[in-house]
Amino acid sequence: MTSRASVVLVFGGRSSEHEISCLTASGVARTIDTDAFEVHPVGISRDGTWHRISLAQLQQLRARGRELPTVPADAEPVVLISKGDRVVLAGLVGGHLTDEVDIDVAMTMLHGPYGEDGTVQGQFEMLGIPYVGSGVAASAVGMDKHLMKVVLEASGLPVGPHEVIRDLDWVSDSEGCCERIVVALEFPLFVKPARGGSSLGISKVVAADQLPRAIEKARVHDPKVLVEQGFVGAREIECAVLGPLPGTITPRTSPCGEIVVNSQDGFYDFDAKYRPAANQVDLQVPARIPDSVSDTVRQLAARSFDVLGCEGLARVDTFVTASGEVFVNEVNTMPGFTELSMYPSLWQAAGMDYRDLITDLITQGLSRPNTAVR
């Protein structure tokens, strides 16, 4: 028997998406090819402590009614540490490492701050361990809706009209900020924390007098706020991207999918994403759009992945206007990854099932060059 690659599967985390991450990791743990991979789950609790969880325990983390799972706080604390040319996962008792296991590659199922934003990727770089997904810079830029638009725009990719409000602008002259926005952009507007996640703090604004409140609401999550001109009547079309196959250089793109928001005047907000009780949202896979539009979305998705320097995986979300024009809304470097999420569903539509997708990602991670500057 060939030896299995040893994977640390990191989940939970300090962001508002802690519970979603637990659900996702549980699904991955139930599906991952254990003939190929030896899985070592690590749950990060809300306070940032790393805990060793058994594979069986992770497989059983499920929602109970409306109560979503969290990382069990009584589980053994662990550290990931470099030891010569090895990286080990170990308990720490009385200053001594216990129950050491060698780790070959890290896979995170963390969303939002401290997971998707380059921070944990920096930790892996410092340790010298290869990992699945984008590196430090692409993760950090992908997390910041403003910086992401700056990079995409500078590379000639189409993004919608937008304005940024920095802390200093707002604190020194909030009226001036609102005037600038009303002159530059047309209603409706979407007001967003630059570095948020899962739509928390996002508001749709239809009149000038609602603007200050919406900005304050976004500032609860981030002192930097992005205000975008709303796309009216546009469709939300998404494309899943995987890094190139070995020996090739072109990112792989999936067929497109559509987010269909049913609630009148609604948008794809936190409740619609994670508490879809009222059937507010449908995922339509594949999207019912003309081939020419699908081709454009896929080309823009591959190009966005490339210009942001993404690796491994990303989901590129676009708005397609009534006239068929395509604009990039955002690039998610750690997209929703439950079996029913858009990203795996899109690969399923391309003939790659959930297990094969997980294997593909870890295989890409294992061959990742091991330095932050390449």
Ligand X SMILES: Nc1ncnc2c1ncn2[C@@H]1O[C@H](COP(=O)(O)OP(=O)(O)O)[C@@H](O)[C@H]1O
In whole angstroms, give the CA distance from residue 153 to residue 151. Answer: 5
The first and second tokens of residue 330, run together, are: 């955002």
User: Smallest distance from the beta carbon of 190 to ligand X, in angstroms?
Assistant: 4
Half-sphere exposure of 8 (CA within 13 A, CB side): 28
Q: Is 160 in the site for ligand X (CB under 6 A)?
A: yes
User: Smallest distance from the beta carbon of 185 to ligand X, in angstroms?
Assistant: 10
From residue 222 to residue 261, what is the string marking binding to ligand X with x (rule CB under 6 A)? Answer: ------x-xx----x------------------------x
Active site residue 15: no
Binding piece for ligand X, criterion CB under 6 A, among 42-50, 127-135, 196-204, 289-297: 196-204
From residue 51 to residue 70, what is the string marking binding to ligand X with x (rule CB under 6 A)? Answer: --------------------
Catalytic residue among 76, 100, 282, 353: 76
143 φ/ψ angles, rounded to the nearest 5 degrees: -80, -25
User: Cβ distance 71 to 12 under 8 Å?
Assistant: yes
Binding piece for ligand X, criterion CB under 6 A, among 36-44, 190-198, 207-215, 300-308: 190-198
User: Smallest distance from the beta carbon of 109 to ligand X, in angstroms?
Assistant: 17
* Number of neighbouring beta carbons within 10 Å of residue 90: 18
Catalytic residue among 254, 332, 341, 345: 332
Half-sphere exposure of 234 (CA within 13 A, CB side): 22
The Cα angle at residue 28 between residues 287 and 103, in degrees rounded to 5: 130
User: Smallest distance from the beta carbon of 258 to ligand X, in angstroms?
Assistant: 11
The first and second tokens of residue 227, run together, are: 């205000």
In whole angstroms, give the CA distance from residue 270 to residue 289. Answer: 26
User: Smallest distance from the beta carbon of 340 to ligand X, in angstroms?
Assistant: 17
User: Quick one: which of 308, 330, 361, 364 contacts ligand X (CB under 6 A)?
Assistant: 330
Q: Is 337 in the site for ligand X (CB under 6 A)?
A: no
**H/E element, 216:** helix 211-219
Q: Is 116 in the site for ligand X (CB under 6 A)?
A: no
- Name beta bridge partners: 327: 319
Which SS3 state, helix, strand or coil, does residue 258 take?
Answer: strand
Q: Is 199 in the site for ligand X (CB under 6 A)?
A: yes
Catalytic residue among 116, 163, 238, 330: 330
Q: Is 117 in the site for ligand X (CB under 6 A)?
A: no
User: Cβ distance 91 to 52 under 8 Å?
Assistant: yes
Maximum CA pair distance of the chain? Answer: 69
From residue 303 to residue 322, what is the string marking binding to ligand X with x (rule CB under 6 A)? Answer: --------------x-----
DSSP secondary structure letters along 110-147: --STTTTSSHHHHHHHHHT--BSS--HHHHHHHH-HHH
Q: Is 329 in the site for ligand X (CB under 6 A)?
A: yes
Which residues of the chain form contacts with ligand X (CB under 6 A)?
A: 160, 190, 192, 198-199, 202, 228, 230-231, 236, 261, 267-268, 317, 329-330
Active site residues: 76, 198, 274, 315, 317, 330, 332, 336
